Amino acid sequence: MVYADAHCHLDFDEFDIDRHELIVQCAASGVKLLVIPGVGRARWSKILRLSAKYSNVYPCVGLHPCFLDLHRDDDITALERVLLMHREIVAVGEIGLDLTMGQQARQLSMFEQQIDLANRFKLPVVMHSRKAHNLILQVLKRKALVSGGLIHGFSGSYEQAVEFWRLGVYLGLGGVVTYERAQKTRQAFSKLPLESIVLETDSPDMPISGKQGERNTPLNIPLIHKAFCSTRAEREEDINDQLMKNTLNLFGMLGH
């Protein structure tokens, strides 16, 4: 089977020692599509270089709410410039809101400005949300997404998930599905339309069950896939086909 990791931070320093070997290993093990979101201006060029070097790596650029102290106001202008220059970029992200961080007004302003840019360039958005699902839903009802988006590492309620999907937002499922105790999330994803879901690792974070404390990598995608399949009634091959189609559709790669 062929897999995609819709959200992995392979540009992070944790991968400096073996990044090339890991990307080659991913392709060999069936994880043939890797989407890398950018968390700040300083990292965009590294992600773009990786996507130029490896045909299975796809770049996103954005300003993450958890790195607010590193962002400058002119980073929005820089983001616009990068989007103009690099047509290989598949999404604006990682953007979003994190209500555990503070500076909520500035977070909201940057989030909305980045949605406007994504809409202008007809790109999806990749969103981080912590304690902020309802606020993000309010924003998206005011600012409809032209090309949809992804709420990554979703762990909200089934009702919230359905609302996101109605607004054209895919739900990202990661290592949490491998934990027996994550009943709320497992049940939500067991009931959602298969067409609304993509798999991700959030590498190097969000380790799978049994590998706590270890660096997470996209090589764990097949294990996440297997855990997800155990919650569904559909055949594993059909699930795999649909999840791949979802990822290609989300990032505008269908027909490429």
Residue 18: give its domain's CATH number: 3.20.20.140
Q: Is the residue at 256 inside a domain? A: no
Domain that holds residue 158: 3-250
Question: Do the domain assignments include residue 167?
Answer: yes
What confidence score (pLDDT) does residue 254 get?
75
DSSP string, 83-103: HHH-TT--EEEEEEEETTSS-
Residue 65 falls within a domain, yes or no? yes
For the chain, the domain total comes to 1
Assigned domain for 44 exists: yes
Residues of the chain with pLDDT under 70: 255-256
Residue 246 within a domain: yes
Provide the whole-model pTM.
0.97
Sheet holding 125-130, edge to edge: 3-5, 31-36, 57-61, 91-98, 125-130, 149-151, 169-173, 197-199
pLDDT number for residue 158 = 97
Query: Residue 255: its pLDDT value, please?
Result: 55
Q: How far apart, in whole angstroms, are the C-alpha atoms of residue 43 and residue 25? A: 23
Residue 255 lies in a domain: no
Q: Give the per-residue pLDDT at 256.
A: 47
Q: Is residue 108 part of a domain?
A: yes
Containing H/E element for 241? helix 236-250
What is the share, in percent, of the chain residues with pLDDT greater than 90?
98
Please check whether residue 101 lies inside any domain of the structure: yes
Cα–Cα distance for residue pair 182/186, rounded to 1 Å: 6
Cβ–Cβ < 8 Å for 63, 103: no
